[in-house]
Amino acid sequence: MPTERTSAGDPARTLHLLWRGSSPDRRRGPRRALSIDAVVETAGAIADAEGLDALTMRQVAKELGVVPMTLYTYVPGKAELLDLMLDAAYARMPRTDTGGRPWRERVIAVADENRALFERHPWAATVSTSRPPLGPGQMAKYEHELRALDGLGLSDLEMDACLTHLLTFVQACARAAADARAAQDDSAMNDQQWWDLNAPLLARVLDADSYPTAVRVGAAAGAAHGSAYDPDHAYTFGLRCVLSAFAALIDEAQRGTTPGS
C-alpha cells in the first residue's frame, strides 16, 4: 500500500502554492534567498536518490543550507511539498505530439510517457493520487492525455475511465518493476542466479505430478524470461491487452451498441 498520498495537506494553501497565486508573505528583514522552486527541486532530488522515506523537511533544509524553520515560510509541511514535487514532475514530462496519428499510437505514447516518468522518479509510483494535486502540471498532463482518446465516439465518462485504467496499469507495472529491482539488490543476485541456486531445493519438496499445469507453464515462462517475472514483458503484454479492451469499447461506441446487446 502507498505510504504517501496527494492532497493530504491544507487544500487552500496547497492550491495557492501550486498555482503560485502570489509570492510568499513578505516580511520585514533581509531579502529571502530561497524560492519555492528551489525547495521543490531539492526535495525532488532527495526523493529521486533515496526515496520518500528519506525525505524530511530537516533533510531538505540541510541540503539548502538553512535551518528547518526557514522552509516553513515557503511550504507548510511535507504533505504540501509532495504535491508540489509531483506537479513539478508532471510539468516537466515530455509530451509526444501525436496529432493525426492512429489512436493506438496515441495511447501507447501516453503509456510510455508515464512509464518514463516512473523510471526517472521511482517515488512517484508509490504515491496514491486518488485525490490528485490539481496544479498546472497535473492539468496540462490530463489535457494532453485525454486528447489521445478524444474523437473516438467514447463518452466523456468513458474517456476518463479509459485513461484512469491505463495510468493505473502503468503505475502497477512501475511498482512491480521496482520490487523486482529491490529483490535483486537485497539478494545481490539476478533472478536467473537466484533460481539456479534455489531450484534444487524446490525440486526436493515439489511433487510435479500434483501440479502438472503449474510446473509446465512455470517452466516455459522461466525459460523464456530467465525468471518468474519479467517487467518488460509484463508491460508489453499488459499494454496489448489494454489496447484490445479499448478497441472493443471504441467499436461498440462507434456502432452505437453496448456490451451484451
Asked if 178 and 125 count as a contact pair (C-beta separation under 8 A), the reply is yes
**What nine digits make up the cell of 18?**
501550486
Q: For the segment 108-151, what is each residue's pLDDT rounded down to a tens digit?
A: 999 999 999 999 999 999 999 999 889 999 999 999 999 999 99
Greatest Cα pair distance, the chain, in angstroms, is: 80
Asked if residue 259 has pLDDT above 60, the reply is no
Average pLDDT (53-81) is 95
What mean pLDDT value characterizes the chain? 90
- The identity of residue 190, as a single letter, is N
What is the enclosing helix (H) or strand (E) of 5? strand 4-5
Asked if residue 261 has pLDDT above 60, the reply is no
Question: Which range is most confident: 23-27, 87-91, 214-218?
Answer: 87-91
CB-based burial, 153-189: b 16+ in 10 Å, e otherwise: ebeeebbeebbeebbebbbebbeebbebeeeeeeeee
Phi, psi of 142, deg, nearest 5: -60, -45
Asked if residue 1 has pLDDT above 80, the reply is no
pLDDT of residue 192: 76
Angle subtended at Cα 73 by Cα 71 and Cα 78, rounded to the nearest 5 degrees:
50
Q: For the segment 176-185, what is each residue's pLDDT rounded down to a tens digit?
A: 999 888 887 7
Domains present along the chain, CATH in parentheses: 4-90 (1.10.10.60), 97-255 (1.10.357.10)
Average pLDDT (64-68) is 95
CA distance 115 to 118: 5
More confident of the two residues 207 and 166: 166
- Alpha helices, DSSP H, located in 27-77: 36-50, 57-64, 68-71
Q: What's the predicted TM-score (pTM) here?
A: 0.88
Asked if residue 30 has pLDDT above 80, the reply is no
